[in-house]
Structure 1
Amino acid sequence: MQSGYLVTATHVAFVRKAATAAFLFLGLAALSACGIRLPGNTDSPTELAEAVTEFRVVPTTRAFISVPSALLVMERDLGGAVEQRITLPNETSLAGENTIMLRAQQAGYARGTRFVLSEQLSQFGGAPSPFSGVAEGALTATSDTMGDITYTTISPGGDVVCVLAFRRTQTASRALPRGSRALDIMLRNCVSGSVQKALAPIGASAFGLGLPN
């Protein structure tokens, strides 16, 4: 009888722990689905959707911003955000793609107004090569008629310059998805030439009057 009681008590304790773990998991999943982040959490609020939603190729005319040199535009709907990936030409010998990552985000999914590098990198899947070791202290800023661009540069050799740049706007060259409150952008671009040339794909000329629907 004593042995049977111990087995039963152990089983009950196991069931309780499993139920508690399941409850916590479902609770966190619900918070993520609602675009809610716990204090101190830098994970993307669409992390679960990102894990199961693949990009699909769309016409270049669907790009949120005007990029005449775009080679490919891909898009995925993450629920509270629509993400696009624009592939740019890379005429240097450096490995890696030149890309623009864009997120049209609804209220509650958009990051705060203060720029935090770790949060920006988190929502775009991390820092691209050759910026894996980028730190906030390496960032600088410039501005144009559309607002600020926060960026850093690397000069790997010769006349090649690479930029990793970020900006946020509320407009685009075409209407953003309904309910969008912010368009977050990350650019990785390596070119032969100047920093200004590297930043050009997300400069003021890339934006029009495409206010959210």
Structure 2
Amino acid sequence: MPPQLPPMLGEVEETTQFVTVPLGQAWVNAPGAVIVTERGLVNSLEQRIGLVNRTAVRGDNMLTLRARVVQGQQEGRFRFDEFLRRIGGLPDPFSTLKSGDLLTGEDELGPYFWAENRVGGNTICVLGLRRLGTGMRQMPGDTNVMDVMLRNCVAGDAEQALEPIMAASIGYISGVATTQDSRGIEMLSPLAGPTPQ
């Protein structure tokens, strides 16, 4: 009999379904989290966190987190095209965005990239991207990097829309946001355990 080869990453991604998990198992404290789904892949884990959308803009507000094992020098470098290929492309209204269109910002966890799209008089949509490593926060499972994408449309400004991808939200393990105050519990340290409620 020929040897049985393990499935390739692309095959696993096409066949592995997301399953719903409790909000308390979210990897981050995402403001406005309403549902969390995740799946295990080849040397990686993926979690998607659905966020409240109070606008009329088509599509879902979502945080996509992809944690995996990366070797050597690539640990600190975000690879735009590879990440988009793995998550199925960019969401509306950013589907035609190129990496050169992104603005750069920085917070306590390092650099992040973002773009904005204004819709009507008071609605703004943002796309945020960043990579986190083990030196920034604890990673899920045995992974050492986590790539994050945010699509968030709000009636407000870009700062409000970017909140779920900023250090105050993603620098901590979820504590969790099951109350109406969707911030969850922020911990003293990214490596600290959750505080009791």
Please classify the TM superposition score into its range, dividing by the shorter chain length: 0.7 to 0.9
Deviation readout 1:91-131 (Å, 9 max, x if unpaired): 111110000000110135x9664444322211221010111
Cα separation, partners in 2 of 1:106 and 1:192, compared to 1, 3 Å = same
Q: What's the % identity of the aligned pairs?
A: 36
Match of residue 121, structure 2, among 144, 158, 163:
158
CA positional deviation for 1:50: 0.9
Deviates more, 1:175-184 or 1:197-206: 175-184
Instruction: Measure the CA separation in 2 of the matches of 1:90 and 1:172.
Output: 32
Q: Which residue of 1 is the match for residue 149 of structure 2? A: 186
Cα separation, partners in 2 of 1:98 and 1:111, compared to 1, 3 Å = farther
Instruction: Measure the CA separation in 2 of the matches of 1:175 and 1:74.
Output: 19
Instruction: Measure the CA separation in 1 of the matches of 2:151 and 2:121.
Output: 18
- The gaps in structure 2 that reach 5 residues or longer are 173-189, 193-197
1:120 paired to 2:83 = yes
Match of residue 86, structure 1, among 49, 53, 59:
49
1:139 paired to 2:98 = no
Deviation readout 1:72-98 (Å, 9 max, x if unpaired): 000100131110000000111111000
Number of residue equivalences: 170
What letter corresponds to residue 100 of structure 1 in structure 2? L
Q: Which residue of 2 is the match for residue 38 of structure 1? A: none
Structure 1 length-normalised TM = 0.72
Match of residue 59, structure 2, among 86, 90, 96:
96
Deviation readout 1:19-66 (Å, 9 max, x if unpaired): xxxxxxx9xx86x74xxxxxxxxxxxx322111100000011111111
Instruction: Measure the CA separation in 2 of the matches of 1:115 and 1:171.
Output: 14
- The gaps in structure 1 that reach 5 residues or longer are 1-25, 34-45
Structure 2 length-normalised TM = 0.77
Cα separation, partners in 2 of 1:171 and 1:113, compared to 1, 3 Å = closer
Question: What does 1:45-84 align with in structure 2 at a 5 Å threshold?
Answer: 46-84=9-47
Deviation readout 1:122-148 (Å, 9 max, x if unpaired): 122101011111012211111110111
Question: What does 1:13-28 align with in structure 2 at a 5 Å threshold?
Answer: none
Q: CA RMSD in A?
A: 2.6
The structure with the largest helix share of the pair is 1
What letter corresponds to residue 81 of structure 1 in structure 2? S
